[in-house]
Amino acid sequence: MNSPLKTLMAAAAIALASLSGAALAQSYPTRPVTLMVPYPAGGLSDVIARSVNNTLGKQLGQPVVIENLGGASGSIAAQKVLNGASDGYTVFQGSPNELILAPLAIASIKFKSEDFRLVQMIATAQIAFLARKDFPASTVDEFLDQARKAAQQGRPLTYASVGPGSFYHLLGEHLSKVTGIPMVHVPYKGAAPAEQDLLASQVDFFLAPYGKKYDDMHKSGRVKVLAMLNSERLDNVKSYPAITESTQLKNFTFNI
């Protein structure tokens, strides 16, 4: 689980692997390239894509157009890329979340991670422990005490994820297991819609890939950042406790 987020490019890698030396000498690309993002606009995956597409376009000499397609823990977008032509004009920005975990969790997914080839890693992400703004806790330990009390009263807390079988779903299940506190999973098509419901207090918490926007939301009182799932405080998030500073979750360290 503590593996780095891996950005895998599918169709472009297949095309490059099959091109002969003569074909490589031909002009490529001659038209825009599509960068497929397997979640709706507004989430961290989308932000990453929009931070690299212009630079990639300059290197290729053609525009790189982002297409967002969420659903089924990112597998709908992955399958669309696989079903398309292996001509290098559609590439997939993905991770083990879509290419390993989703096929294991969803029986209808038929592709395997081996169907994709890693071209380049472009990002890693820290995991933030986010709670709704009106949740009556300011630390992870206080949060768990409240969660335990709510479960005993028959009102288990709800947690968001980007889909069944996703890394964030497994994190929530693991949290429930290691604490012995029943919790209810609420899947979304991506981080952006999950975040919207967290902001609206429709879901209690979200173990989410951290972006600077959460720092702004925390400071403006729209969401609570209780901790980072790091082993120690890192320079860019020093104002937030590492999960190891809690009493009940000292070993709950993860990143992607």
Contact between 201 and 132 under an 8 Å Cβ cutoff? The reply is yes
pLDDT along the chain (256 residues), means of 10: 33 30 62 90 82 88 92 87 86 82 83 82 85 97 98 98 88 96 95 94 95 92 97 92 96 86
pTM to 2 decimal places: 0.71
DSSP at 3? P
Structure tokens that stand for 209 in this block: 């890939």
**CATH 3.40.190.150 placement within the chain:** 11-115
pLDDT tens column, 165-182: 888 899 999 999 999 999
Question: How confident is the model at residue 85, as a pLDDT?
Answer: 85
**CATH 3.40.190.10 placement within the chain:** 127-245
Homologous superfamily of domain range 127-245:
Periplasmic binding protein-like II (3.40.190.10)
Question: How confident is the model at residue 72, as a pLDDT?
Answer: 84
Question: How confident is the model at residue 26, as a pLDDT?
Answer: 61
| Beta strand ranges found along the chain (DSSP E) | 33-37, 64-68, 90-92, 127-132, 157-161, 183-187, 205-209, 223-228
CATH topology of domain 11-115: D-Maltodextrin-Binding Protein; domain 2 (3.40.190)
The amino acid sitting at 97 is N
DSSP assignment of 191-235, as one string?
A: HHHHHHHHHTTSSSEEEEE--HHHHHHHHTTSEEEEEESSSS--G
Q: At what angle do helices 167-179 and 140-152 cross, to 10 degrees?
A: 80
User: Tokens 């920005």 belong to which residue?
Assistant: 93
